[in-house]
Amino acid sequence: MQNLDLCALLEPVVDLAREAGRKILDVYGTRFTVDIKADRSPLTAADMDSHRCIVDGLSAFKVGFPSISEESAECPYSERKKWQTYWLIDPLDGTKEFIKRNGEFTVNIALVHRHQPVLGVVYVPVTQLCYFGCTGQGAFKQEADGPVEVIRARTRAPEKLTVVGSRSHQTGELADYLSKLGPHRLISMGSSLKLCLVAEGTADLYPRLGLTSEWDTAAAHCIVEQAGGHVCALSGEPLRYNTKESLLNPYFLVYGDDSRDWAAFAAGKQGSGIGDHI
Return the higher-pLDDT residue of 244 and 2. 244
pLDDT score recorded for residue 2: 57
Mean pLDDT calculated for residue range 52-74: 94
At 14-43, the pLDDT tens digits run: 999 999 999 999 999 999 999 999 888 999
pLDDT score recorded for residue 273: 45
Residue 216: name the closest of 184, 258, 247 by CA.
Answer: 247
Mean pLDDT calculated for residue range 122-131: 98
At 74-105, the pLDDT tens digits run: 899 999 999 999 999 999 999 999 999 999 99
pLDDT score recorded for residue 80: 97
- The rounded percent of the chain whose pLDDT value lies above 90 is 85
Residue 254: name the closest of 230, 272, 274, 222 by CA.
Answer: 230
Provide the edge-to-edge strand list for the sheet that holds 161-166: 184-189, 161-166, 205-208, 252-255, 230-233
User: Across the strands, what pairs with 93?
Assistant: 106
| pLDDT-based confidence at residue 274 (cuts at 50, 70, 90) | very low
pLDDT score recorded for residue 237: 95
At 174-216, the pLDDT tens digits run: 999 999 999 999 999 999 999 999 999 999 999 999 989 999 9
pLDDT score recorded for residue 3: 64
Q: Phi and psi dihedrals of 213, rounded to 5? A: -100, 160
Q: Judging by beta carbons within 10 Å of its beta carbon (0-12, 13-18, 19+), is residue 269 exposed, middle or buried?
A: middle
At 131-141, the pLDDT tens digits run: 999 999 999 99
* DSSP state string for 216-239: HHHHHHHHHHHTT-EEEETTSPBP
pLDDT score recorded for residue 270: 62
CA-to-CA dists, residue 248 to 215, 216, 223, 237, 244, angstroms: 9, 9, 20, 16, 9
pLDDT at residue 278 is higher than 90: no
pLDDT score recorded for residue 110: 98
In angstroms, the CA 105 to CA 97 distance is 6
| pLDDT-based confidence at residue 4 (cuts at 50, 70, 90) | confident
Give the helix/strand (H/E) hosting 99.
helix 95-100
**What domains, with CATH codes, occur in the chain?**
6-150 (3.30.540.10), 161-266 (3.40.190.80)
Pairing of strands 230-233, 252-255: antiparallel
Could you give the 3-state DSSP secondary structure of residue 153? coil
